[in-house]
Amino acid sequence: MFNQAATTGSSLAGNYAVRQAVDVGTDTVLDTVQAVARGEDVNAKTIGKDLLTNTLMAGAQVAGGSGKNGIVDTGTGGGNKPANMSPEGAGRKGAFKEAKRKNGIPVSEQPKKVSTNVDKRGNPQPGRNYEFDNKVSIRDDAAGHIYPDNPTQNRGPHFNDPAGNHYDY
First to last CA, the chain: 53
Alpha-carbon span 12 to 34, nearest angstrom = 33
Per DSSP, the three-state class of 155 is strand
**What H or E segment, with its residue span, contains residue 159?**
strand 158-160
pLDDT in tens, 33-89: 666 766 778 787 777 776 766 666 555 444 444 333 444 444 445 678 899 999 999
**Cβ-Cβ contacts under 8 Å for 79 (sequence gap 6 or more):** none
Q: Does the model's pTM come out above 0.85?
A: no
